[in-house]
Chain A
Amino acid sequence: MQDNMNWLEFLISERVLLLDGIYQTIYVSLIALFYSLIGGLLVGFIRCIPNKISAFISRIYLESFRIIPLIVWLFAAFFLIPRFMGRGFSSEASAIWVFTLWGSAEIGELVKGAIQSLPTIQRESALALGLSKTQLYMYILIPQAVRRLIPTVINMATRIIKTTSMLDFVGVIEIVARSRQIIERTVEPFIIWSFVFFFFFFLCYPLTLWSRHLEKKFR
C-alpha cells in the first residue's frame, strides 16, 4: 500500500476482491441454510417417530457431528467425495453437502424440540373440541411450532455464516480466502483482518438482535 492511503482508501481499492468474498460467503450461507431447513424438517420429524431403530440411527448421525469437528468432515468430503463421484464435483458442492448434513442435524434437533415442546394439554383439548387430527396439526400445532422455531433458525443462520469461514481450507473462495489473497499481495493484515472481523459482526449481530426480538414477541 502506498504511504498516502489510509485504511478506508485501502479497503476501497481492494473492493473487488472483498465484495466477491462477501458475496460468496452470503451465497454459500444462504444455500446451506436453505437445504438445511429442508433436511432439518425431515430429520426433525424422523426424530419424533417412536421407532427404536430410526431413533438409534438418527442419534448416531447427530452424535457424529457433535464429536467430530466440522472441519474434519469438510476435509473428508473435500478429498473423498471427488474420488467416489468423479472429478465433476466441485469443492463448493462438497462443502454444501457437508454443511447441509450438519445443518440438518442441528435444525433437526431444533425441530424436534419445537414439536415436543407443544404442550399435550392443547392437543387433548383440541381433540375434545372435535377437531380432526389433520386440523389439529394444521391450525394449532404447526403454527405454534413454527413460532418457536423461527428465532432458533435465525440463530442457526448466524452459526452457518460464521462457519463458512472455515471453507477457505477446503478451497472455497469466500471472504477469508479473498482476504488471504489480498494480504499476500499487499501485506496489510491488520486492516484486512479487522475488516473481516467487523464484517462478520455486522452481518451476524443484526440477525441475533432480530432473533431475540422475535423470541420475545412469540412468548
Chain B
Amino acid sequence: MNLNVDYMISIIPLMTSAATYTIKITVLGVFFSFLIGIAGNIVYYYKIPFLSGFFKGYTEISRNTPIIAQLFFLFFGLPQVGITLSGFVCGVIALSFLGGSYMVEALRSGIESVSKIQKESGFALALSKTQILVYIILPQALRTSLQGLFANVIFLLRESSLIGAIAVPELMHVARSEISMFFRTEEVLLMLTFYYIILIAPISIFFTFLEKRLRYAR
C-alpha cells in the first residue's frame, strides 16, 4: 500500500472547507437541540398540560427513527407537498430534531437528580417555583447532566456525517465525491479519518477536562 502524499496534501483545502461546513451545521444543530432541551424541561417542570404530552410524543418519535429517514423526508418528501428547504436547512432541522430529544432527556435526568427536599427547602424559604428552578435546580442539574450533554454533542458531530446523504458538502459527502472522481480511496479515507479525529478528539478531551474541574468545585 503506497500512499500518494502529494495528493493527500492537495486535497487539504477541500477537506478543510468541508470540515468547516460540518462544524457550521453541527454547531447550529447543537444550539437548537439545546434550546429544545431547555424548552422541554421547562414544560415538564411547570407541568404545562398539552405541551408535556407533545414533548413526550416528540421524544419518542425522534428517538425511534433514524436520522436518514428524517432527512429524506425533509429533503425529498416535503417538496412534493410544496415545502422546499435547502440541504443545509434540512440538515440543521434533522440534527436539531434528533438531538433535541436527547438533550431533553439528559437535562431531565440532571434535574430529577436534584432531591425533592432541596426544592422543598426552597419553598420553605418562600422562593417561587421559578426562583427555585433558576437558583437551585438548574445550577445543580447542569453539573450533573454535563456528561450526558457532552456525549450528545459528540453524537451529533458523528451524525452530521450522514447529512451528506442529501448532497450537502460536509466531510463524508465530499470525501465520497472525491473518491468517485479520482479513485484514491486509501488516501482520501485516511484524510477523512484524520479530519474526524482532529474534529472530535479535542472536543472530547476538552469536555472530560471541564467535567473533572467542575466536579472538584463542589
A residues with CB within 8 A of B: 66-72, 75-76, 79-80, 158, 162-166, 168-169, 176, 179, 183, 188-190, 192-194, 196-197, 200-201, 204-205, 208
Q: List 29 A-B contacts (CB under 8 A).
A: A67-B204, A68-B193, A68-B197, A69-B158, A69-B161, A69-B196, A70-B158, A71-B172, A72-B189, A72-B193, A72-B196, A80-B189, A162-B65, A162-B66, A166-B165, A176-B72, A183-B76, A189-B79, A190-B81, A193-B69, A193-B76, A193-B77, A194-B73, A197-B65, A197-B73, A200-B64, A204-B64, A204-B65, A208-B63
Further 16 A-B residue pairs, CB within 8 A, beyond A68-B158, A193-B72: A67-B196, A67-B197, A68-B197, A72-B192, A75-B172, A75-B189, A164-B66, A169-B165, A176-B69, A183-B76, A189-B76, A197-B70, A200-B64, A200-B66, A201-B64, A208-B63
A192 to B196, CA, bound (A): 33
Q: Are B60 and A165 in contact (CB under 8 A)?
A: no
Number of A-B contacts (CB under 8 A): 104
Q: Are A205 and B64 in contact (CB under 8 A)?
A: yes
Contacts of A162 in B (CB 8 A): 64-66
Closest to B64 in A: A204
Quick one: CB contact mask for B165-194 with A, threshold 8 Å, 1 for yes? 100000010011001000001100100110
Contacts of A66 in B (CB 8 A): 154, 158, 200, 204
Contacts of B66 in A (CB 8 A): 162-166, 200
7 shortest interchain CB distances as A-B pairs: A69-B161, A162-B66, A204-B64, A193-B77, A165-B68, A165-B66, A190-B80
B61 at the interface (CB under 8 A from A): yes
Q: Are A158 and B64 in contact (CB under 8 A)?
A: yes
A208 to B65, CA, bound (A): 11
A165 to B80, CA, bound (A): 22
B51 at the interface (CB under 8 A from A): no
Contacts of B72 in A (CB 8 A): 176, 179, 189, 193, 196
Q: Are A205 and B60 in contact (CB under 8 A)?
A: yes
**Interface range for B:** 35 or more
Contacts of A197 in B (CB 8 A): 65, 69-70, 73
B210 at the interface (CB under 8 A from A): no
Label chain B's interface by main secondary structure. helix
A164 to B77, CA, bound (A): 20
A163 to B64, CA, bound (A): 11
Closest to B63 in A: A208
Closest to A196 in B: B69
B residues 47-75 with Cβ under 8 Å of A?
60-61, 63-70, 72-73
B162 at the interface (CB under 8 A from A): yes
- Tell me, rounded to whole Å, the shortest Cβ–Cβ distance linking B209 to chain A: 16
Contacts of A158 in B (CB 8 A): 64
